[in-house]
Amino acid sequence: MSKRIKWYFDFISPFSYLQLKRLEQAKHSFEVEMIPVLFAGLLKKWGHKGPAELEPKRLDTYKFCQWYADTHDIPFQVPQAHPFNPLSYLRLCIALGSTTQGIHDIFNFLWGECPPVHQAEAIQGLAKRLGVTHLDQLLSDPKVKTELISNTESAIEDGVYGVPTFVIDEQRFWGLDQMDMMLDFLERGIMIDAGEYARLTKLPYGIQRS
């Protein structure tokens, strides 16, 4: 029986884009259920900040992502403003059925073409390119809004606290740097609930910040 492989992402995340490209390069044979979520909703739930909200980390993140993209031959340009509000792009994705092609098209636009994402004409131009009419109507559709909320709630139920995250058999693989571990889990069936891994699940706190 094939495993259900869920991939939670947000277009605001350069790591989501880079992981999607690495997944493409890996030429995998498994099916991935791609689920758009609102990263800000995860941050609010778990009470932490995104990497672009801490100024030193923001710059370091951009530098690392540029290096990573260059190293792995991935087209990459940070948009003209970042962070940006990804809500309209997430809703557009859902309105298009969250298809693999639609997700790639939106990611490639945002992270491959350096668009002025902070301006309305950016998404309007993308929508026109994708053959979308009545954009405002699509983005305000209650069903689309509800699905995005539901996706984010499902991610939280899966214990997801950041993007990108794979969830497979209740195991989480968060971030670009855990991609090899995820592939190992799928391809070699590494037991991450046994041995030393099992001890880690019960590790006590030595101290907790109040």
Residue 31: which CATH number?
3.40.30.10
pLDDT at 191 over 90: no
- Distance, in Å, from the CA atom of 158 to the CA atom of 152, rounded to the nearest integer, reads 10
- The pLDDT assigned to 193 comes to 77
Those residues whose C-beta lies under 8 Å from the C-beta of residue 186, and which sit 6 or more positions away, are: 3, 5, 30, 168
Domain for residue 11, yes or no? Answer: yes
Considering its fold, how many domains does the chain have in total? 1
Q: Per the domain annotation, does 115 fall within a domain?
A: yes
> What's the whole-number average pLDDT of the chain?
95
Asked whether residue 40 is assigned to any structural domain, the reply reads: yes
Task: Answer yes or no: is 12 within a domain.
Answer: yes
Lowest mean pLDDT, pick from 47-61, 79-93, 163-177, 178-192: 178-192
Contacts of 155 (CB under 8 A, 6+ apart): 8, 35, 37, 42, 165
pLDDT at residue 1 tops 70:
no
Bin 131: left if φ > 0, else alpha if -120 < ψ < 50, else beta.
Answer: left
Note whether residue 89 is domain-resident: yes
What are the Cα distances from residue 5, in Å, to 35, 126, 180? 10, 29, 15
pLDDT at 127: 97
Asked, for residue 206, whether it belongs to a domain, the answer is no
Contacts of 177 (CB under 8 A, 6+ apart): none
The domain containing residue 194 runs over which residues?
5-200
Cα(162)–Cα(155) distance, integer angstroms: 9
The answer, yes or no, to whether residue 70 has pLDDT greater than 80, is yes
Give the tens place of pLDDT for each residue, 106-164.
Answer: 999 999 999 999 999 999 999 999 999 999 999 999 999 999 999 999 999 999 999 99
Tokens of 157: 């139920």
Report the predicted TM-score, pTM, of the whole model to 2 decimal places.
0.96
Report yes or no on 209 lying in a domain. Answer: no
- pLDDT score for 40: 98
Summarize the chain as % helix, strand, coil (round to 5): 55, 10, 40
Has residue 210 been placed in a domain? no
Given pLDDT bands bounded at 50, 70 and 90, which one contains residue 197?
confident
Predicted confidence at residue 28, as pLDDT, reads 77
Beta bridge partners of 9: 36
